[in-house]
Amino acid sequence: MDVLSDVVTTMKAGRPKITRSRRTGRWGSRFGPYPGAGFHVVLGGACWLVPPAGEPVWLTAGDVVFLPHGAAHGMSDSPDRTVDRLPPEPAPEGAASPLTGAGLAPADDTGDHTLLLCGAYRLDRGVVHPFLRDLPDVIHLPARLGRHAELRAAVELLGSDVAEVRPGADAALPALLDLLLVYALRAWLEEQCPREAGGWCAALKDPAVATALDRMHREPARPWTVQELAATAGLSRTAFAARFRTYVGRAPMAYLTWWRLSTAARLLRETAAPLAAVARQVGYGSEFAFANAFKREFGTAPGSFRRAHTAAAPEPRRPGEETG
């Protein structure tokens, strides 16, 4: 996969929490902090985002807000209260779908109200991609006519699919949320990410470094050398290594090792593939070498890591069983 796709994949440490709520009159809620990344989509009406720092932000229908670090923040009908003065997010009521929420509005509801779609991805902080760490606390993507048509389409699809409980919602909603996240991050990179800020903004906008990163992510098992990566980037070995380290914060081979082991951690958590197969898939010729490298990175052997994450994972939901 390419870099941005892999960034989104690292966020999938369980099903996202999704709530849809209808707010009227005097209202406000405090969200977070939580161990993940949060988002809000204004499906109808308007409201204020009360960020963890800085001035409140006016939101209107179609606006998307992404909070990659799970920082405490608020949503409110007015900007006159700070985050700590807002009441906690209402506890969701149980529903027979991944969509739950207080004050759920029927599909044909009319009147003066704000309709919000809010959610959060739980993150495994041990394997979160450094691109996410470089993001600001709050990303606001306002609805703009003629801009980012794919993001607008994802918002429209989400609004349509959550208006009522419909067949296939269990499959459609997580997929639509992944699309929303991809398009939101893409829009931020294209519009709001300043290359001069350095870090991953610069890395993904620099043709040479971005090309090398793309090749690493698409072929992590290939026995890359710095010289080969420099050739794909069209630079000398010395110039490429210096530019890569400046933008990414690690030497090319150090980043490749980290990415291979992070991919292995995801495979151990999500699949039942034998350890030898996981080792080969991420570029290690022997299970012994893989186990040593994995333990240096994560502080535990691959088998122990898998058992710990399998034990912590929720049991699959049985047909007809409600989610909370």
Give the rounded distance of the alpha carbon of 285 from its chain centre.
Answer: 32
The residue out of 193, 221, 254 marking a domain boundary is 193
In a domain, 320, yes or no: no
pLDDT at residue 79 in the model: 95
Tokens representing 206 are 């620099």
Q: What is the pLDDT of residues 241-277, one digit of tens each?
A: 999 999 999 999 999 999 999 999 989 988 999 999 9
The backbone torsions φ and ψ at residue 294, rounded to the nearest 5 degrees and listed phi first, read: -65, -40
The residue out of 193, 227, 253 marking a domain boundary is 193
pLDDT at residue 53 in the model: 87
CA angle 224, 203, 210 (to 5 degrees): 50
In a domain, 318, yes or no: no
Q: Are 56 and 151 in contact (CB under 8 A)?
A: no
Q: What is the CATH number of the domain that holds 76?
A: 2.60.120.280
In a domain, 136, yes or no: yes
Mean pLDDT for the chain? Answer: 83
Tell whether 52 and 133 lie within a shared domain: yes
Tell whether 303 and 257 lie within a shared domain: yes
Q: What is the CATH number of the domain that holds 212?
A: 1.10.10.60
* Number of domains comprising the chain: 2
The residue out of 154, 172, 193 marking a domain boundary is 193
Q: What is the pLDDT of residues 199-238, one digit of tens each?
A: 888 898 899 999 999 999 999 999 999 999 999 999 999 9
Residue 100 has pLDDT above 70, yes or no: no
* Domain housing 70: 3-193
In a domain, 233, yes or no: yes
Tell whether 244 and 152 lie within a shared domain: no
Tell whether 108 and 234 lie within a shared domain: no
Give all strands of the β-sheet with 36-44 in edge-to-edge order: 99-100, 17-23, 114-122, 36-44, 64-67, 139-141
Q: What is the pLDDT of residues 110-125, one digit of tens each?
A: 457 899 989 888 776 6
CA-based Rg of the chain, rounded to a whole angstrom? Answer: 22
Tell whether 134 and 101 lie within a shared domain: yes
pLDDT at residue 152 in the model: 87
Residue 157 has pLDDT above 90, yes or no: no
